[in-house]
């Protein structure tokens, strides 16, 4: 089930129509109040969330969702709203699509996010070969459950934060570029926005690092990107 939160009726109906013809179940909500009521009935597999909404905007809504749920959120945004995109990602959104969107692009983003959750078939053989469990120093990761524990304490990562940490950890001590992370973590074959990586790294550091100001586990490699260093204490 996919929830589409969009106040513009024609866009909302287009989203629902597109999703349903692709084989998904979808429900539309025009504002945060309707979403709140719908979330009480059923937690969807994914939420498409317009940033510009009457009442609470998409950024505020994303923050509230993240207080209780890790449901994937794809923000819908107008082209010029770069600041809002960053705020949305900081609030916990996983990805975003710019309006007016290409249906093919939107569906690719949705499928990539559901694949991260292990839903929907992955024809990607490489992903299947990756280990289910990783032990890196005092960090343990379980890729089936999307759980990461540091010293035995659950870090409460969202599936995307988990996937980012996991991909970095699989390549321990090896610097990975933002382009490579966009491909491996988000499933962008080409393109994608470096902001996605940067903001997710910030979010991840808040949860995983002892001192996010001086990251030891997810380190910045100047001119390249990021690398994972296994924590020992
Ligand atoms: Ca709107």
Interval between CA 7 and ligand 1 midpoint (Å):
5
Interval between CA 1 and ligand 1 midpoint (Å):
21
Q: Specify whether the CB–CB gap between 45 and 2 falls below 8 A.
A: yes
The pTM of the full predicted model, rounded to 2 decimals, is 0.90
Predicted confidence at residue 110, as pLDDT, reads 95
Q: Specify whether the CB–CB gap between 31 and 7 falls below 8 A.
A: yes
Residue 80 has pLDDT above 90, yes or no: no
Interval between CA 16 and ligand 1 midpoint (Å):
15
Helix, strand, coil percentages for the chain (3-state, nearest 5) = 40, 20, 35
Which of 95, 97, 75, 123 is closest to 181 using CA atoms?
95
Interval between CA 63 and ligand 1 midpoint (Å):
18
Interval between CA 203 and ligand 1 midpoint (Å):
26
* Residue 46: strand pairing partners: 2
Which of 103, 76, 78 is closest to 20 using CA atoms?
103
Interval between CA 80 and ligand 1 midpoint (Å):
14
Interval between CA 57 and ligand 1 midpoint (Å):
9
Give the confidence band of 81 by pLDDT, cuts at 50, 70, 90.
confident
Interval between CA 191 and ligand 1 midpoint (Å):
25
Q: How many Å apart are CA 199 and CA 71, to the nearest integer?
A: 18
Residue 58 has pLDDT above 90, yes or no: yes
Cis peptide before 79 (omega within 30 of 0): no
* Residue 139: strand pairing partners: 136, 150
Interval between CA 24 and ligand 1 midpoint (Å):
22
pLDDT, tens digit (0-9, with 9 covering 90-100), for 85-139: 999 999 999 999 999 889 999 999 999 999 887 754 444 544 557 788 999 999 9
CA dihedral of 118, 70, 130, 126, whole degrees rounded to 10: 50
Q: Average pLDDT of the chain?
A: 92
Interval between CA 58 and ligand 1 midpoint (Å):
9
pLDDT, tens digit (0-9, with 9 covering 90-100), for 13-33: 999 999 999 999 999 999 999
Predicted confidence at residue 39, as pLDDT, reads 96
């Amino acid at each position: 089930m996919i929830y589409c939160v969009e106040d513009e009726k024609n866009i909302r109906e287009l989203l629902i129509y597109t999703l349903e013809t692709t084989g998904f179940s979808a429900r539309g909500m025009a504002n945060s109040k309707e979403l709140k009521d719908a979330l009480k009935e059923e937690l969807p597999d994914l939420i498409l969330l317009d940033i510009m909404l009457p009442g609470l905007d998409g950024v505020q809504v994303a923050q509230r969702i993240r207080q209780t749920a890790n449901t994937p959120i794809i923000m819908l945004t107008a082209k010029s709203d770069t600041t809002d995109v960053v705020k949305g990602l900081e609030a916990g959104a996983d990805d975003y699509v710019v309006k007016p969107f290409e249906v093919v692009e939107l569906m690719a983003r949705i499928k990539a996010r559901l694949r991260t959750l292990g839903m929907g078939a992955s024809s990607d053989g490489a992903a299947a070969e990756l280990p289910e469990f990783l032990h890196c120093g005092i960090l343990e990761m379980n890729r089936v459950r999307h759980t990461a524990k540091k010293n035995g304490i659950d870090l409460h990562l969202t599936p995307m934060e988990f996937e980012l940490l996991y991909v970095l950890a699989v390549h321990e001590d090896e610097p990975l570029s933002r382009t490579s992370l966009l491909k491996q973590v988000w499933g962008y074959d080409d393109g994608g926005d470096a902001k996605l990586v940067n903001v997710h790294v910030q979010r991840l550091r808040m949860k995983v690092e002892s001192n996010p100001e001086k990251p030891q586990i997810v380190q910045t490699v100047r001119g390249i990107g990021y690398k994972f260093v296994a924590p020992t204490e």
